[in-house]
Structure formats: C-alpha cells, structure tokens
Amino acid sequence: MEKEFNPFLVTGYKHADYFCDRKQETAQIKKHIANHINTTLFAIRRIGKTGLIHHVFNSYAKNKKIVCLYVDILGTKNLKEFTNELATVIYNRFPEHQGIGKKIIAGIKLLRPLISFDELSGNPQLSFDLSDSKRYEKTIQQLFLFLDSQNIQIVFAIDEFQQILEYPEKNTEALLRTYIQSLKNTHFIFCGSNQKMMHELFNNAKRPFFASCSNIHLDFIDKKIYADFIANMFHQNKRKISSQSIDFILDFTCCHTFYTQYFCNYLFASGGKNIQLHHVQSIALEILKLNENTFYQYRNLLTMAQWQLLQAISKEEKLYKAHSKAFITKHKLGTSSMVSRGIEALLEKELIFYNTSVETPYYETYDKFLMRWMQHK
C-alpha cells in the first residue's frame, strides 16, 4: 500500500494546503511588495517566519512579472561567503537558456565566478576568488545593480539576516544599506531568529538600517483557526479527531507552530482513525520520552542554579514577576540578584524568551516539550 502523505510538515514548505492561516500577514507583506516597501519580520524561533516567506513567494508562482529569491545566510561567516551565497541563489533561479535568464547568467559570468556542483543536490554553486574584501563589496553591488536593471520586479528575502553582525567586515551593514537604497525594482524581506540582534539591527536609531523597513511581528496562530486546520487535515484523510483532543494538543504546545506541527505529525503517523483524548495524552508522554536525551543535553549546558531556575519558569508557564518574593521562595532560588543573573544566562542561551508582544510581558520556556517535561518531573 502506498504510504499516506503526512499533511503536518515539520520542515520546509510544500503548498498552501498544508499551511495554516497567516492570511493577514501574507496580505501585509504583499502590500509592502506592491508598494515597494522593504519588510522586516520579527518573531521568536520556529513560529513560522521562514514558512511565511515561502508562502508569500508561492502566491507569486504564476506571476511572470515578479521574481522571488530566497537566501538563508546562517551558514555564512564573512563577506566572501555572503557574496557566494547571493550569486549562487541568483544563478540557480534563472533558466539559462531563456530570455532574461540568458542575460542574467551571462552577466554573472562576467564577474568570473568559479562554478562547481553541490555534492548532495547536484546544483551549481558559485564562488569568487578575489584578493580582498573591497572586491567582494564591488561584486555584491554589481550583482544587485545588474538584477535591478532587468526591468522585472525582484523580491529578495534574506533569512537569518542577523548573521551579518558576526562577519569580521564590520561595514557590511552600512554598505548593504547603501546598495539597497539605490535599487529601483528590487525589494527586500529581512528575517532572523535572533530577536535581540534583529532588533539591534533595525530598531536602533544609531544603526544604518534604522527606519528603513516596515516591521511585521509574527505572533502565535489563533487557537480557533489552528484547531479548525488540524481537524480539517485529519478529516481530509478520512480520520476523526475529537475536539477535546485538539484542545489538549494546543494547550500542550501553547499553540507554538513548530511544537504543534510536530505533535500532529507524530499523531498522524501513529495511524489512529478515531482519535480520542486518551490517545493524544499517551502520544504526549511518548513525545516527551523520545526527546528526553535532548533535555539532558540542555542540562549539561547549564549550572545547577540555572537549571533550577529554568525548571521554576517551566512550572510557572508564564512568569510575570521574576523578582517577586513569592516566586523566589516558592522555588527556593536564593536571592533576587541570583535570579537576575540566571535569567540573563537563560535568555542568552535562548532557553527562555521574554514575551513583550502582550499587555503584561512575561518569561516563558522556549522549548514547549522541555517545559512540559519539567512540569512532569
């Protein structure tokens, strides 16, 4: 029997059919594109930033006037690697033998890249062997200008953009800003999962990108909408799932996209045709057991005090008053300054995050499965 397709994706993007909601954010980004405004996407990790970019791009799939380019620069360490990524993405996006593609490929080749083939995907990879970083700066500018002069509208998404802050070439930010500013037909979506660095890049008045983009904040998917989506995915595959079960899942994952997708993927794979509350409860325990090794690895990264604080925050679920006497004594956390230091460390290691997109901000454990596991301990 042919294996059934699991509609709950835990990596990448396939099709709008498997993508839940984000209607308003999609419309907003498209509006920016139509009005030639650059966008920055802010959100915590694994909530669906990258997915949303692909969803927006997918909506232009049949539009011949707009060309969408996506580059993830997380793996790049310097301006040279950034240039190589950029050139590779552009090169692979255009068919070599047709109209505009022909021109673009010929243009890129004038910059004399070395072309090799990726061992895994077999796709061409471009790299430049230039003598100094000034030449890479020039190459980036030429790539952008060349694309921009083709009389097509280009949307360029640069994911994990905060990575440029790690480059030894400290002027990267300023020069990209300058190049981008001069383009007429090319518009950008910047996105990144390190919120602190992204805010520093775009919301610090002293930095080049300040006020250059329109910000979109990506929040949790609405619970009711997610519940309908989950029910639909099961129903379309001739399976039943009780609404109590769906409520349990969305509570368990706090509606966080990745954890919800993971849970539903696992549940779907388990094959039940008529899913009831006790099924999802036992699946939840299975998932926690399966991830236990990862949780112990987290523990090795922390001091005992930090681990205890993380456990306390997990138990609270939403910690509004980190310095209150009640919280500190309830969990035997020592002094207020110890808690302060611990919170700094946990934020730095991205094991917790500070949710400021609500009226009263709070601290919360990032990994929802770790949070539930700690609550069980």
Ligand X SMILES: Nc1ncnc2c1ncn2[C@@H]1O[C@H](COP(=O)(O)OP(=O)(O)O)[C@@H](O)[C@H]1O
- Residue 306 binds ligand X (CB under 6 A): no
- Residue 19 binds ligand X (CB under 6 A): yes
Q: Tell the smallest beta-carbon distance from residue 191 to Mg ion (Å).
A: 7
DSSP readout, 23-42? HHHHHHHHHHHHTT--EEEE
Rounded Cα distance between 66 and 207, Å, is: 30
* CA atoms within 13 Å, Cβ hemisphere of 217: 8
Q: Tell the smallest beta-carbon distance from residue 101 to ligand X (Å).
A: 28
Residue 51 contact among ligand X, Mg ion, none, beta carbon within 5 to 8 Å by kind: ligand X
- Residue 163 binds Mg ion (CB under 5 A): no
Closest CA to 180 of 152, 145, 146: 145
Task: Pick between residue 50 and residue 150 the one whose CB is nearest to ligand X.
Answer: 50
Residue 253 contact among Mg ion, ligand X, none, beta carbon within 5 to 8 Å by kind: none
Token pair of 85 as six digits: 């990524």
Contact pattern for ligand X over residues 161 through 200, marking x by CB under 6 A: --------------------------------x-------
Task: Pick between residue 19 and residue 248 the one whose CB is nearest to Mg ion.
Answer: 19
Q: Give CA torsion, residues 272, 281, 277, 265, to 10 deg.
A: -40
Give the ranges where the chain is alpha helix by DSSP (H): 23-34, 49-58, 79-93, 99-110, 133-148, 172-181, 195-203, 223-236, 243-252, 257-269, 277-290, 292-300, 304-316, 325-330, 336-348, 368-376
Task: Pick between residue 232 and residue 340 the one whose CB is nearest to ligand X.
Answer: 232
Residue 306 contact among ligand X, Mg ion, none, beta carbon within 5 to 8 Å by kind: none
- Residue 45 binds ligand X (CB under 6 A): yes
Q: Judge contact between 283 and 270, C-beta under 8 A.
A: yes
- Residue 256 binds ligand X (CB under 6 A): no
Residue 19 contact among Mg ion, ligand X, none, beta carbon within 5 to 8 Å by kind: ligand X
Size of the site for ligand X (CB under 6 A): 20
- Residue 67 binds ligand X (CB under 6 A): no
Rounded Cα distance between 55 and 172, Å, is: 29
Among 43, 69, 189, 328, binds ligand X (CB under 6 A): 43
Among 39, 50, 139, 261, binds Mg ion (CB under 5 A): 50
Neighbours of 191 (CB within 10 A): 25
Q: Tell the smallest beta-carbon distance from residue 373 to ligand X (Å).
A: 20
Closest CA to 281 of 370, 372, 365, 366: 372
**Which residues here bind ligand X, judged by CB under 6 A?**
9-12, 19-22, 43, 45-51, 193, 257-258, 261
**Which residues here bind Mg ion, judged by CB under 5 A?**
49-50
